[in-house]
Structure 1
Amino acid sequence: MTQPQQAGPDQLAFQQYRTLLFSVAYRILGTAADAEDLVQDAWFKWSAADRSQVADPKSYLTRIVSNLAMERLRSTRHQRETYVGPWLPEPILTGPDTADGAALADSVSMALLVVLETLSPLERAVFVLKEVFAFSYAEIADAVDRSETAVRQAAHRARGHVQARRPRFTADRASQRDITERFFAAATGGDINTLMELLSPDVTLWTDGGGKVRQALKPVIGLETVARWFAALGTTTYQGIEPGQMRGELTWINGGPGMVFHGPDRVIATMTFDFGPDGRISTIHNVANPDKLHAVADGTRHELT
């Protein structure tokens, strides 16, 4: 971000809320690159504003980012509707601290971001500001330029939609990490029996190649089918890379344990997991579109609120 070397009061005020602004933008958009762009746009607007007229910098900046995010969602709607195969959010690296807070981790999980994709731009912004950041309806109405009544209605619709599509289970974070480690060992070792122990009977695998790399264009469903898919990882050439040239690592992605796969010179895929009430893996999100791997490839761990 282009900013003065000597931090003045205006920059200090902006930096105080920078993490919040990225956190809001990323959840509304589901793309880290666009979220960073919006934070920079917010900086430019903040720099040009008459700040003597700004009573509450937090509300002012949140309003800028929320409206920019809704505009971006509307402008990219056609692109997402015509996307090749499933559209998954852009994964980001997070730290163990994010995973330690169950509510924070869930609010940035791939599973929730996928559900938010089915909301309208207004519903998505209202849900994020209300359910994640606990803004009041009056504050949200000001942020999104709608009446408080309209905001309450949008919040009600969004909450019902998310609850219907995103059942939440109390998850033990240590157990999730353990299951992910066992899955990683079984997949890279071709151990189909262990894979079948770790996967739910109706497990679903979503793969996003965006038409850039070869991936399943529809969800892969069912215990045996998904287990066999992953058991073949260690013996299958992928994106022209031989199995012996691939390297996988366990890390923290979107608030939970995940996997990053590397080729000799690039990141080739990420994998994140959702867990069912029995503790087994119920959903796998596999992102392989190279356009969505920049945030992971650069190694930056994002702080979130």
Structure 2
Amino acid sequence: MSTSSTDSLGELSGTVKGSWHQFLDVYEPLRPELYRYCRYLTRSPWDAEDLTQDTLARAFSTLARMVEGPPNPKAWLFRMASNLWIDQMRRRRELAFSERLEGEPAIPHELHEPHEPRAAREAAGTLLVRLSPQERAAVVLKDVFELTLEEIAEALSTTTGTVKTALHRGRGKLVEPEPEKAAEPAAAAVLDAFCDAFNARDLDRLTALMLDTSTIDVVGVTTEYGAKSARIRILPGMLFGSEKLADPTWTGIDWSLRKGSHPTPPRAEVRIYRGEPLLLSWYQHDDGEAVRAITRIAVEGDRIAHLQNYFYTPDFIADVCRELGVPFRINGYRYWK
């Protein structure tokens, strides 16, 4: 690639990034409610965070093609999330149908979703997989978010009559399902090795655990590819980012979210969450330790193919940590003002 082409791509990347930051300035205040809505739809913190990220990305690209912004931004975001989620459910049904045609055993959709313990704070609004996607969305928007029939119709791109029908049918199906068995822990040995290397501050060992083709996400902020990029741009921040957190002169995360934090490198601990091992990063504060980051990995063989670091995901961190019963601190949605 020529130098001029590289320069043009760099300028384009900077322009897009600037537009993305402007988009977040307007729509980020709606993100907690968007995550909460996605959480009710998907019944899983992992899937809720993914759906939230996908919804914001879709909204950003759609807004770029609109002459005027939406008059009701929250309903518009809910519509984006609803459409994306319903499309996902439709693809799953089509896949299950094609498997049946090929002689594979049919797998009910509900078995694909991890069991969610019924905390009292969610009991009234928990929606079950026995509802169709549109029924579930309609009941959530009405009973949890208290939207009007007209607002629900706007969010679901349908009519108020269809919303009434979905509400009537959905409410009639709300029956508590039997608890599902937790999945067997996967990739435990690799995550244990990652945890040991993390606590030893051994960047070489951490890097050796990554595939050269691995994908590394700081969820919602950046994506890197390969062990080399992980070593240069992601792993040092995971190991030593506490120094910035404790520095009052740093102009990144708001000081109100960092006050009382110590520069001591975080301690990693493996916990089983919904049958899956994941890494909790415990940071030191004036009043003791608290989780500020969660790491999830996918393994190929004995090495990491995909690493997801949940740091700038306050709704997700709060959700998982409350379910685990551990103290936590949030970092906001981004590292820039």
Give the TM-score taking structure 1 as reference length.
Answer: 0.48
Higher Rg: 2
Give the TM-score taking structure 2 as reference length.
Answer: 0.44
Q: Relative contact order: is structure 1 or structure 2 higher (C-alpha 8 Å, sep ≥ 6)?
A: 1
